[in-house]
Chain A
Amino acid sequence: MSSEKTEVDFDVAEINKDYERLYGFHTNTDYLKNSTRGVSPDIIRQISKIKNEPEWMLEFRLSSLEIFNSMPDPTWMDGSVFDEINYEDLYYYASAGDKKYNDWNDVPEDIKDTFERLGVPEAERKFLAGVSAQFESEVVYHHLQEELEKKGVIFLDFDTGVQKHGDLIRKYIAKLVPQGDNKFAALNSACWSGGSFVYIPPGVKVEIPLQAYFRINAESIGQFERTIIIADKGSSVHYIEGCTAPTYSKTAFHTGVIELFAEEDAYLRYTTIQNWSTNVLNLVTQRAIAKKNATVEWMDGNLGAKTTMKYPAVYLAEPGARGRVVSIGYANKGQRQDAGAKMIHAAPHTTSSITAKSISHNGGRSSYRGLIKVNKGASHVKTDVECDALLLDDFSESDTYPTIDVRERKDVSVMHEATVGKVSDETIYYLKSRGIKEEDALLMVVNGFIQEFTRELPMEYAVELNRLIALEMEGSIG
C-alpha cells in the first residue's frame, strides 16, 4: 500500500468548502475601461498591435476571422448550446497590466493575491519545474527553473514565443488544428492571446511538471489560449493546466487550441484540471501527433464549466506510436460535459487506449463522443476504449456516441466497452455499516470510480481533485 495515497484519498471527506469561497472571488476590473466588446478586424488589429506582432501573424488572425464569420455552428450538437453565445457582448481581449514578470514579488498586488489564493506560487515552490499564470488575456507571470533553461528548454507564454521563436511557431501553428477545423478553432486563431509555447530539446527529460494556470476574473471575458508543445526526439515532458473563474450571470468563454508534437521516442503528457465556474463555455480543441515510438497522453479532468466540448485527439503517424486518453467528467446541475477522445491510427504497429469516466449528478448531463479510426494500411493496431458512466440519481443523464471506422483488416484489434451504473444502496449500506457517514460513503465510491484518473496525477493534484469533487457533492444528500 502506498501510505501517501491513503492520506490523499481520505482528505476528501474532511474538506467542506464551497466554490464561491475558494475560487469565486474576483479582484478589481477597472482595466476593462480600455477594452471594447465584440470582435472585428479592427479589434484583431489592435490585439496584434499591442503584441507587436510580425505581419504574418496579423494575416493569420485576419484570415481566421473571415473563416470564423463564414462558418456555421457545429451541427452534431444541439443548437441550444450555441444559442446562448452572445458574440457581441464578449471582451475578446482584456489585460490587467502591460508587463509579464518572472518573480512573484513584482506581480501587481491584486493579481498576485489572486494566484496566492489559488495556491499557484506555493505549488511552484513545492513541485513544479515551471509556471505560467494567465490572468484574462495575458500571461502575467512566467518562470522556468534555471537548470532547464540551460538545457535549452523553452517555456514561454505564446506571445513571447512569437517574438522570440517566430519561425518555429510559424512552422508549427495550425498544422494539427487548421484555422477552419471548427468554428471555435477559427475564433481562437483570430483572437488568441496567451497560452504557452514549449520546446523540449532532444533527449532532455523534464522530470517534474510544467504548469499553466488560467484565470478569468471579469464578467463576459473571452479567453483564447493558444498552446504549442514540441517534444523533440527522445525527450519527455508533463504539462499541466488548471483553470478557475468567478461565477457571473453572463456567459464567459474559454476557447483554447492546443497542438502537441511528439517526435521520435518522445514522451508527452498533457493534463487538464478544468474547474471553470458554471457560467463558462469551455470549447477547446486539443490535438497531438505522435511520431515513431512516441507516446502522447491526454489526462483530461472536466469538473467545471456550464458546457464543455472537448475531444483530445492523437494522430498516430508512425510505427510504434502510442496514444492514451484518460478522462473524467463531472456534470452537476445545469452542466453539460461533452467530452471524449479521438485516435487516428495512420501507421501500422500503433496502439491507443481511451478510458473515459463520467459522473452525472443533480440533473447534469455527460456524454462521451469518441472516434477510433484505423486507416488503410495501418495493420497490427491495437486499440481499447472503455467508457463508464456513473449516475448519482434518477434524473441525471449520460450518453455515448462512439464512432469506429476501421479500413484495415490485417491484425487489427479494436475493443470497446461501455457501462452505465448507479451507486447501489447496498454498497452505501456496506460502507455505513462500518461507521462511515452516507455522504462520505458516496464520495468514497465516486473517488474509487475516478481513481484511474487521479492515480495518474501528481499527488498534490490528486488531493486537489478529490477536494473539488467533495465540494461539488457537498450537500447533495439530505
Chain B
Amino acid sequence: MNSPLLELKGLCSTVFSEDTDQQIPILKGVDLAINKGEIHVLMGVNGSGKSSLAHVLMGHPNHQITEGEARFDGTPIQDMEPDERARAGMFLAFQYPHAIGGLPVGTFLKAAVEARRSEEVPFRVFKRELDAALEKLGISKEFLGRSLNEGFSGGEKKRNEILQMHLLKPTLAMLDETDSGLDVDALKKVFHDVREFANQDNALLVITHYDRVLDYIQPTHVHIMSDGRIVKSGGADLSKRIDEEGFEAVLGVEASV
C-alpha cells in the first residue's frame, strides 16, 4: 500500500516565545494521515494548536518539532527548510500573509512558480497560466502591479493566497483560517475556488474555527483539536454535531480545558 501523502505520528512541538525567551509546548502528540483525494477539516477552539500545526508542518522558524514523526510523501520533513517543503508540494495559505513593499504581486508569483518547478518559466508560458488563473478566480490584472499584500483588504489577501495555490499546484494545500475576515459572498467565492482546486491527485487540510465553511466544502474527514492533540475524528457528520451541540458536548470535558 502507498504511504499517506501526509503522515504524523505522535508529533510534539514547541514554539519560541520572544516575550518570555522560552520554548512553550504546543503540539502534544498529533496523529494524522492524509491521502490524496481527501479533504480534511481541522476544527477546534482558539489556542488548541490548529494554526501551530500548520506552521510546524510548513517549517516556521519559531516552531520546533521535539518528538514524533512527520512525513510528507514518505519523506521526513523535520530537517527540510520551508522552501524545500514547498518545492516538494506543500503549501500553506496564511491567515495573516506578510506584506512586502515594492514587490509586485506579478513578480512574486513568477518567482514562486519558477521556484516550485525548479526551472525558469518563459514569460509567455507564465502569462498564459496566470491569465487563466486570474480569469477563473475573477481577479483583475491590476492586482498584479500592486505590492504584495501591502494595503490589501482582508478579502484581497485571502484571494491572493488562493491564487497562489492555483498557480503553485501543491499536492497538499493547508488553509489556515482562510474563512476568517470574509463576508458571506467572499466566503462563498473563495471556497468555491478551493473546491475547484481539489482533485484526486491532491489533498486539502482546511483549518477553521467555525463550521460555516462546511456549507461550501464537503470534507471527507473532520478532526477536532484540543490542547495540542487531535481528540476526535470522523466524517462530515461530526461537524454537524458540533454545530448542533457545541464543542463541549461533543468532546466531553476535555474540550473545555
Contact check, A435 vs B60: say whether CB atoms are below 8 A apart.
no
The complex places the Cα of A431 from the Cα of B97 at a distance, in Å, of: 10
Query: Is residue B132 contacting chain A, with contact meaning CB distance below 8 A?
Result: no
The complex places the Cα of A2 from the Cα of B120 at a distance, in Å, of: 19
Point out the residues of chain B lying under 8 angstroms from A73, CB to CB.
none
The complex places the Cα of A437 from the Cα of B84 at a distance, in Å, of: 8
Cβ-defined partner of B86 (8 Å) among A9, A432, A438, A450: A432
The complex places the Cα of A277 from the Cα of B109 at a distance, in Å, of: 35
Query: Is residue A448 contacting chain B, with contact meaning CB distance below 8 A?
Result: yes
Output the residue of A427, A436, A444 with the most chain B CB within 10 A. A436
Point out the residues of chain A lying under 8 angstroms from B24, CB to CB.
none
| Closest A residue by C-beta to B144 | A1
The complex places the Cα of A440 from the Cα of B112 at a distance, in Å, of: 11
Query: Is residue B104 contacting chain A, with contact meaning CB distance below 8 A?
Result: yes
Query: Is residue B87 contacting chain A, with contact meaning CB distance below 8 A?
Result: yes
Contact check, B103 vs A448: say whether CB atoms are below 8 A apart.
yes
Point out the residues of chain B lying under 8 angstroms from A10, CB to CB.
107, 110-111, 114
| Closest B residue by C-beta to A443 | B111
Task: State the majority secondary structure of interface residues on B.
Answer: helix
CB contacts under 8 Å to A, within B41-83, are 58-62, 81-83
The complex places the Cα of A440 from the Cα of B92 at a distance, in Å, of: 19
Contact check, A444 vs B168: say whether CB atoms are below 8 A apart.
no
Cβ-defined partner of B100 (8 Å) among A3, A6, A432, A444: A444
Point out the residues of chain B lying under 8 angstroms from A14, CB to CB.
120
A17 to chain B, nearest CB (A): 18
CB contacts under 8 Å to A, within B83-99, are 83, 85-87, 91-92, 94, 97-98
B58 to chain A, nearest CB (A): 5
Cβ-defined partner of A450 (8 Å) among B81, B102, B123, B168: B102
Contact check, A6 vs B83: say whether CB atoms are below 8 A apart.
no
Query: Is residue A63 contacting chain B, with contact meaning CB distance below 8 A?
Result: no
Query: Is residue B116 contacting chain A, with contact meaning CB distance below 8 A?
Result: yes
Contact check, B97 vs A435: say whether CB atoms are below 8 A apart.
no
Chain A interfacial residues counted at CB < 8 A:
34
| Closest B residue by C-beta to A14 | B120
Contact check, A434 vs B115: say whether CB atoms are below 8 A apart.
yes
Contact check, A429 vs B103: say whether CB atoms are below 8 A apart.
no
The complex places the Cα of A451 from the Cα of B60 at a distance, in Å, of: 28
The complex places the Cα of A7 from the Cα of B147 at a distance, in Å, of: 16
Contact check, A429 vs B116: say whether CB atoms are below 8 A apart.
no
A61 to chain B, nearest CB (A): 45
B144 to chain A, nearest CB (A): 4
CB contacts under 8 Å to A, within B116-161, are 116, 120, 123, 127, 141-142, 144-145, 147-148
Point out the residues of chain B lying under 8 angstroms from A440, CB to CB.
111, 115
Query: Is residue B101 contacting chain A, with contact meaning CB distance below 8 A?
Result: yes
Point out the residues of chain A lying under 8 angstroms from B114, CB to CB.
10
Point out the residues of chain B lying under 8 angstroms from A5, CB to CB.
104, 106-107
Query: Is residue B164 contacting chain A, with contact meaning CB distance below 8 A?
Result: yes
Query: Is residue A244 contacting chain B, with contact meaning CB distance below 8 A?
Result: no
Point out the residues of chain B lying under 8 angstroms from A424, CB to CB.
98
Contact check, B102 vs A435: say whether CB atoms are below 8 A apart.
no
A391 to chain B, nearest CB (A): 16
Query: Is residue B216 contacting chain A, with contact meaning CB distance below 8 A?
Result: no
Contact check, B147 vs A448: say whether CB atoms are below 8 A apart.
yes
Contact check, B103 vs A433: say whether CB atoms are below 8 A apart.
no
Contact A435-B116, Cβ < 8 Å, known A448-B100, A451-B102: yes
The complex places the Cα of A9 from the Cα of B164 at a distance, in Å, of: 19
Point out the residues of chain A lying under 8 angstroms from B59, CB to CB.
429, 432-433
Contact check, B98 vs A430: say whether CB atoms are below 8 A apart.
yes
The complex places the Cα of A432 from the Cα of B116 at a distance, in Å, of: 10
Contact check, B106 vs A6: say whether CB atoms are below 8 A apart.
yes
Query: Is residue B210 contacting chain A, with contact meaning CB distance below 8 A?
Result: no
B29 to chain A, nearest CB (A): 25
The complex places the Cα of A429 from the Cα of B56 at a distance, in Å, of: 12
Query: Is residue B108 contacting chain A, with contact meaning CB distance below 8 A?
Result: yes
Query: Is residue A173 contacting chain B, with contact meaning CB distance below 8 A?
Result: no
B200 to chain A, nearest CB (A): 23
Point out the residues of chain B lying under 8 angstroms from A2, CB to CB.
145
Contact with B along A442-455 (1 / 0, CB 8 A): 00110111111000
Given contacts A1-B144, A9-B104, 7 further A-B contacts (CB under 8 A): A10-B110, A430-B94, A434-B86, A435-B115, A437-B83, A444-B103, A447-B103
Interface pairs (16), CB distance under 8 Å: A6-B110, A9-B104, A10-B107, A425-B62, A429-B82, A432-B59, A432-B83, A433-B83, A434-B108, A434-B115, A435-B115, A435-B168, A440-B111, A444-B100, A444-B108, A448-B147
Chain B positions within 8 Å of A, measured between CB atoms, are: 58-62, 81-83, 85-87, 91-92, 94, 97-98, 100-108, 110-112, 114-116, 120, 123, 127, 141-142, 144-145, 147-148, 164, 168
Chain A positions within 8 Å of B, measured between CB atoms, are: 1-3, 5-7, 9-10, 13-14, 424-427, 429-438, 440-441, 444-445, 447-452
Q: 5 closest A-B pairs (Cβ-Cβ)?
A: A451-B102, A448-B102, A1-B144, A435-B115, A448-B103
